[in-house]
């Protein structure tokens, strides 16, 4: 896990920088502020290492000239098109029932944003200190947006390892309607179609951020505790990927690039 990171920002953001330095220090990440004159594409090309950036768009990550941020406002057009019928995710998670749902692998929170928009009450769990900080910033921005505010209200964020979080809920017999899992998957899956195997830019950066401790955690250990507390566990997989933890699901919904495997109680 990243324990030190540089933050590029101009002097006008000093107060926010101090806030993020203290918050991330409490989560075990030392942030070194590099004061710069101007944050632009040229600067980012010249500084390809993984770093945080702060500007008028809020807090985001950069690496190799790419930018990554839980872009909840950027998802608005997708949310406007989405419906309970058109979204496989909505059918797999039975969003029409307005379930209480735990998304145990938050990432950028885009799937959860869609699920909350379509009616779910979401607890979003992320264990990466930088990602959870980015998610908190995205949620704070979303609560100020007229279109996203109600949706953001239905999302609560938890900074924790989901295995611990789910196991604690098992011990406390705290049940939930749905647990949703979308663990990392090696970038090149069994699908021979190169185009489909190439993850989007944001996912590439996510892989860069998360893959620094050698072996990728594929999330197999989350399935068992999830099944103990949820009426339904839904797992997102690349279309041709093996089943999570080698457990055959009760039902599958197949999309073009991914599929949803469901396990019922
Ligand atoms: C593929 S991403 C999820 C993408 C997400 N569905 C979205 O819409 O943006 C997987 C995320 O799950 C997180 N994760 C994996 N295992 C976890 C665990 N045991 N506890 C908490 N978070 C975990 C990773 O840090 C990563 O951010």
Model pLDDT, residue 196: 44
Beta carbons of 260 and 234 less than 8 angstroms apart: yes
**Those residues with Cβ within 8 angstroms of residue 12's Cβ, 6 or more apart along the chain or in another chain:** none
Distance in Å, CA 181 to ligand 1 centroid: 8
Model pLDDT, residue 188: 53
Model pLDDT, residue 254: 96
Q: Is the CB of 114 under 6 A from ligand 1?
A: no
Q: Is 121 a known ligand-binding residue?
A: no
Give the separation between CA 126 and CA 137, rounded to whole angstroms.
14
Beta carbons of 93 and 120 less than 8 angstroms apart: yes
Distance in Å, CA 242 to ligand 1 centroid: 18
CATH class (in words) of the domain with range 73-264 = alpha beta
Q: Which of 107, 131, 221 to mutate to test the pocket of ligand 1 (most atoms within 8 A of CB)?
A: 107
Q: Is the CB of 169 under 6 A from ligand 1?
A: no
Averaged pLDDT, 207-222: 80
pLDDT greater than 70 at residue 4:
yes
Q: Is the CB of 105 under 6 A from ligand 1?
A: yes
Ligand 1, atom 12: nearest CA belongs to which residue?
105
Model pLDDT, residue 206: 82
In a 10 Å sphere around its CB, with 0-12 CB exposed, 13-18 middle and 19+ buried, how is residue 136 labelled?
Answer: middle
Percent of the chain residues past pLDDT 90, beyond the cut:
83
Q: Is the CB of 182 under 6 A from ligand 1?
A: yes
Domain boundaries, the chain: 4-68, 73-264
The tens digit of pLDDT for each residue in 109-120 reads 999 999 999 999
pLDDT greater than 50 at residue 64:
yes
pLDDT greater than 90 at residue 62:
yes
Ligand 1, atom 2: nearest CA belongs to which residue?
107
Q: Which of 101, 99, 155 is nearest to 132 (CA)?
A: 155
Q: Which of 25, 26, 129, 41 is nearest to 8 (CA)?
A: 41
Q: From the options 1.10.10, 2.60.40, 3.40.120, 3.30.70, give the CATH code of 4-68.
A: 3.40.120
Averaged pLDDT, 22-38: 97
Averaged pLDDT, 190-217: 64
Averaged pLDDT, 215-219: 84
> In whole numbers, what is the pLDDT of the chain averaged over residues?
92
pLDDT greater than 60 at residue 242:
yes
Model pLDDT, residue 132: 98
Averaged pLDDT, 9-13: 97
The tens digit of pLDDT for each residue in 142-200 reads 999 999 999 999 999 999 999 999 999 999 999 999 999 999 887 654 444 554 444 46
């Amino acid at each position: 896990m990243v324990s030190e990171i540089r933050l590029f920002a101009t002097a006008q953001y000093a107060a926010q920088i101090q806030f993020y330095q203290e918050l991330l220090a409490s989560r075990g990440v030392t942030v070194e502020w590099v004061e710069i004159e101007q944050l632009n594409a040229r600067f980012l090309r010249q500084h390809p290492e993984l770093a945080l950036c702060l500007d008028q768009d809020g807090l985001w990550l950069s690496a190799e000239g790419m930018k990554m941020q839980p872009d909840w406002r950027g998802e608005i057009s997708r949310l406007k098109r989405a419906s309970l019928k058109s979204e496989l995710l909505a059918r797999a998670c039975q969003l029409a029932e307005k379930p209480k749902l735990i998304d145990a692998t938050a990432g950028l929170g885009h799937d959860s944003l869609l699920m909350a928009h379509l009616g779910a009450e979401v607890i979003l769990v992320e264990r990466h200190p930088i990602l959870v900080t980015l998610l908190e910033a995205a949620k704070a921005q979303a609560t100020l947006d007229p279109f996203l505010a109600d949706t953001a209200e239905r999302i609560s964020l938890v900074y924790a390892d989901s295995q611990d979080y789910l196991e604690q809920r098992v011990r406390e017999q705290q049940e939930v309607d749905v647990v949703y899992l979308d663990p990392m998957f090696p970038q090149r899956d069994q699908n021979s179609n190169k185009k489909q195997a190439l993850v989007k830019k944001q996912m590439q950066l996510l892989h860069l951020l998360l893959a620094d401790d050698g072996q990728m955690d594929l999330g197999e250990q989350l399935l068992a505790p999830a099944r103990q507390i949820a009426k339904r566990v839904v797992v997102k997989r690349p279309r041709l990927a093996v089943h999570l933890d080698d457990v055959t699901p009760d039902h599958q919904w197949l999309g073009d690039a991914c599929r949803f495997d469901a396990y019922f109680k």
